[in-house]
Amino acid sequence: MSTERAEANDGPDAGDLRREWERWREKRAAAVAAPYGPLSVTGTRWIAEAEDGAIAGLPGRWAESADGESVLLEAGVADGLAVDDELLAGEVRLGEDDEGDPGASRVSYGPRRLVLMRREGQWVVRVFDPEAPSRRAFQGIDAFPYDPAWVRPGAFRAYEEGERSVLVGNADGRERGLGLAGHLIFTEPGGGEHRLQVAVVAGGGLWAVLADGTSGRTSYPFRFLRTGAPRAGNAVTVDFNRTTLPPCAFTDNFLCPFPPPGNRLPFDVPAGERNVSGT
């Protein structure tokens, strides 16, 4: 296995890494509690399931275009739906919004933002409401104490046959394909070598859905792990201290995938986020 060597002597010391992690924790909590963060999601609606174009809890008529490449939304001024901050009177054709910035979505309904997305070729409307009860009740995110031993050397190995899709369960009870690109290989603090199936995300970083010995006991049943983009020789630093809760830990209205085969580690990973405070 080709991995990075231990951190260079002139790299950040343990105190610097801990302080950086503490700042990351603060930013993470602020992002979760933002007006259009995960805590504000109150619904994820499939347009294909809208009977006669009506979506429960939302005005207007919603339908996929004939070619499936866009969504047609029809409403009157009295419905209160706005597109680009102007009340809609008639019909408009809409495309996907930037999921990373729900507050900039084109469609709004009062303070709510209605984000259009595609999942497995089907259109979805996700509702973000700053007044959501889960956002008002949020008290923070519990995490394991920072432990530099869980900053591990690793390496990325792409599948020889290219990316693959694996059918996995999702938090809403359905099974869906999960796109995966290869294995993230790392050593645990005890020295054993392990691997996780990962996807490559925007910017070239790696993303894994995993469970471990703490899952369902002292931490949420599964968590997400992200790394930076692989460096020379496909070396990757794997910082389990930055393992995060999936969005569905904050509200039931997300379609989080469960860990794919092989991503249930046979040991405890007492690092990273554990649960939403108070749960």
Mean pLDDT, residues 198-222 taken together: 96
Judge contact between 52 and 128, C-beta under 8 A: no
Closest CA to 223 of 158, 150, 116: 150
Q: What would the pLDDT profile of 251-264 be if each residue is shown by its tens digit? A: 988 889 999 999 99
Which of 117 and 190 is assigned the larger pLDDT? 117
Mean pLDDT, residues 102-112 taken together: 96
- Rounded to an integer, what distance in angstroms lies between the CA atom of residue 228 and that of residue 18? 18
Q: In whole numbers, what is the pLDDT of the chain averaged over residues?
A: 92
Structure tokens at 197: 């199936």
Judge contact between 225 and 271, C-beta under 8 A: no
Q: What would the pLDDT profile of 78-105 be if each residue is shown by its tens digit? A: 999 999 999 999 999 999 998 889 999 9
Q: Is the pTM of this model over 0.85?
A: yes
Helix (H) or strand (E) holding 227: strand 223-227
* pLDDT value at residue 119: 84
Instruction: State yes or no: pLDDT of 8 exceeds 80.
Output: no
Mean pLDDT, residues 25-52 taken together: 94
Mean pLDDT, residues 179-183 taken together: 97
DSSP state of 19: H
Mean pLDDT, residues 10-26 taken together: 83
Judge contact between 102 and 254, C-beta under 8 A: no
| Res. 278 pLDDT band, cuts 50 70 90 | low
Instruction: State yes or no: pLDDT of 4 exceeds 90.
Output: no
Mean pLDDT, residues 111-138 taken together: 93
Instruction: State yes or no: pLDDT of 270 exceeds 70.
Output: yes
In the chain, where are the structural domains located?
14-33+139-276, 42-132
* pLDDT value at residue 71: 97
* pLDDT value at residue 10: 42
Local structure of 260: helix, strand or coil = coil
Instruction: State yes or no: pLDDT of 156 exceeds 60.
Output: yes
Mean pLDDT, residues 204-214 taken together: 97
Instruction: State yes or no: pLDDT of 202 exceeds 90.
Output: no
Instruction: State yes or no: pLDDT of 178 exceeds 90.
Output: yes
| Res. 7 pLDDT band, cuts 50 70 90 | very low
Instruction: State yes or no: pLDDT of 265 exceeds 70.
Output: yes
Instruction: State yes or no: pLDDT of 279 exceeds 60.
Output: no
| Res. 3 pLDDT band, cuts 50 70 90 | very low
* pLDDT value at residue 2: 39
C-alpha distances out from residue 15 to 8, 11, 20, 163, 228, Å: 15, 12, 9, 39, 21
Instruction: State yes or no: pLDDT of 40 exceeds 70.
Output: yes
As a whole number of Å, the end-to-end CA separation of the chain is 40
Judge contact between 59 and 109, C-beta under 8 A: yes
What are the DSSP E strand ranges found in 95-188?
107-109, 112-119, 122-128, 141-143, 151-158, 164-169, 175-180, 182-187
Structure tokens at 216: 């369902």
| Res. 12 pLDDT band, cuts 50 70 90 | low
